[in-house]
Amino acid sequence: MREDAPQVCWFEEVRKEDVALVGGKCSSLGELIRAGVRVPPGFALTTHGFARFMRDAGVSGEIPGMLGGVPHDDLGRLEDVSQAIRAMIEEHPFAWELEDAIAEYYRRLSVRCMVPAVPVAVRSSATAEDLPGASFAGQQDTYLWIRGVDDLLHHARRCISSLFTARAISYRIKMGFPHEDVALSVGFQKMANSYAAGVMFTLNPGNGDRSVIAIDSNFGFGESVVSGEVTPDHFVVNKVTLDILERTICNKEITYTVDLKTQKSVKIETPFERQDTQSIIDEEIIELARMGKAIEKHYGRQMDIEWAVDKDLPAGGNIFILQARPETVWSEKRAKESTESASAAKAASAMDFILSSLLTGKKVS
């Protein structure tokens, strides 16, 4: 990391190459904004700011000693050490100048959005150096509908402390990855007041078909879809014609939304009359598919995308992309099959040469 790296920065100041500075989520958001995709604005506490906080909190020097000799399968000891480290992180304040920087960026974000104390999602954004395996992805925390500087700072510390859950510590010990080498960025992104939200794949995740786009949707925030708490509505769209090929409307019993009295994200039971209702209209499905195609074209590969329809904005400008990452399951499978096919073809080519040489009487050395 460069010495003059900022401790806080806007999403639009980074792009996909800046994973080491702001992690995968935030760098992807910056790339999408630069590509002209409709993304809620926000800013990030960079890994430089994270390292500053960890040094100030005294955690960096304490962690090796606290975790020394703890086996990866001793769940009791892991849980005790995890609670001690997380408490140390969450109880320590940010340095005043870092706290002021986050507060100033939050104030400017609220002005940009024309909403006092604008609600934000506070998300951890892991760097490529966090851990060697993708099996750890998604274990850091996300907090929805957070308002006010004090709450932002509190939940930023909770995101940081989630690097040290018992499960995370166990995984690093098992993989031989030094705890002091982990790095994290924290993103603060304007919340879309979602009427509906969900995920979209620019292929069929069930069979790998790249000619279609698959969209899953539920009412409210997308947390219920991402976490698997509901069976969402499912739509399959032809990637060329944008025709809706499949439509599956499910019984959606849970909705995440905002409690207007407490201004907190809450999980509620979906009103009975809405549970079997299609959560997004056909025009929104087609617009999502069009946005998915544009994102896939920009990245040059199939993508896994989170989206939301904001109920506070008029149609035509109310669909937002919250996150986009490369699809891995089918991409890795195709890459493996391609390598195996190339190896088989190479072996076949060598055997063909040997056989043809024998048939023509050549000496094969």
Assign residue 17 the CATH number of its domain. 3.30.1490.20
In a domain, 63, yes or no: yes
Model pLDDT, residue 341: 56
140 lies in the same domain as 208: no
216 lies in the same domain as 275: yes
- Residue among 259, 244, 317, 309 at smallest CA distance from 279: 309
217 lies in the same domain as 313: yes
- Res 59 pLDDT > 60: yes
d(CA 53, CA 183): 11
d(CA 170, CA 217): 34
In a domain, 220, yes or no: yes
22 lies in the same domain as 149: yes
| Angle at the Cα of 214 from the Cα atoms of 211 and 219, rounded to 5 degrees | 160
What is the domain-level CATH number for residue 258?
3.30.470.20
275 lies in the same domain as 321: yes
Q: Mean per-residue pLDDT for 260-282? A: 95
In a domain, 339, yes or no: no
Q: Mean per-residue pLDDT for 217-245? A: 97
Beta strands of the chain (E only): which ranges? 8-10, 42-45, 120-126, 142-146, 184-190, 194-201, 212-219, 233-238, 244-248, 254-259, 264-269, 303-310, 319-326
183 lies in the same domain as 248: no
In a domain, 364, yes or no: no
d(CA 143, CA 265): 9
Burial class (CB in 10 A: 0-12, 13-18, 19+), 285: buried
In a domain, 357, yes or no: no
Question: Per DSSP, what are the bridge partners of residue 187?
Answer: 44, 123
Confidence of residue 189 (pLDDT cuts 50, 70, 90): very high
DSSP 85-142: HHHHHHHSPPPHHHHHHHHHHHHHHHHHHT-TT--EEEEEEE-TTS-S-GGGTT-S-E
Neighbours of 176 (CB within 10 A): 8
Select the more confidently predicted residue: 332 or 168: 168
Confidence of residue 130 (pLDDT cuts 50, 70, 90): very low
Residues 6+ apart with CB under 8 A from 301: 326, 327, 331
In a domain, 19, yes or no: yes
- Res 298 pLDDT > 90: yes
Residue 121 belongs to domain spanning? 8-190
Determine contact, residues 151/186, Cβ cutoff 8 Å. no
Task: Give me the chain's average pLDDT, please.
Answer: 89
205 lies in the same domain as 180: no
58 lies in the same domain as 177: yes
Amino acid at the residue 134: A
Model pLDDT, residue 131: 40
User: What does R_g of the chain's alpha carbons equal in angstroms?
Assistant: 24
In a domain, 334, yes or no: no
Q: Mean per-residue pLDDT for 181-193? A: 93
- Domain end point (choices 168, 190, 212): 190
In a domain, 335, yes or no: no
26 lies in the same domain as 83: yes
Q: Mean per-residue pLDDT for 251-273? A: 95
Neighbours of 330 (CB within 10 A): 18
207 lies in the same domain as 113: no
Q: Mean per-residue pLDDT for 81-104? A: 95
Residues 6+ apart with CB under 8 A from 222: 194, 197, 198, 199, 256, 306, 307, 308, 322
Report the domain count for the chain: 2
The DSSP element (H or E) to which 347 belongs, if any, is helix 329-359
Please state the pTM of the whole predicted model. Answer: 0.86
- Domain end point (choices 190, 208, 241): 190
Select the more confidently predicted residue: 64 or 324: 324
Q: What is the pLDDT of residues 132-176, one digit of tens each?
A: 444 444 456 789 999 999 999 999 999 999 989 999 899 888 888
Confidence of residue 348 (pLDDT cuts 50, 70, 90): low
218 lies in the same domain as 251: yes
Q: Mean per-residue pLDDT for 168-186? A: 86
* 230 DSSP assignment: S
- Res 353 pLDDT > 70: no
- Domain end point (choices 140, 156, 190): 190
46 lies in the same domain as 175: yes
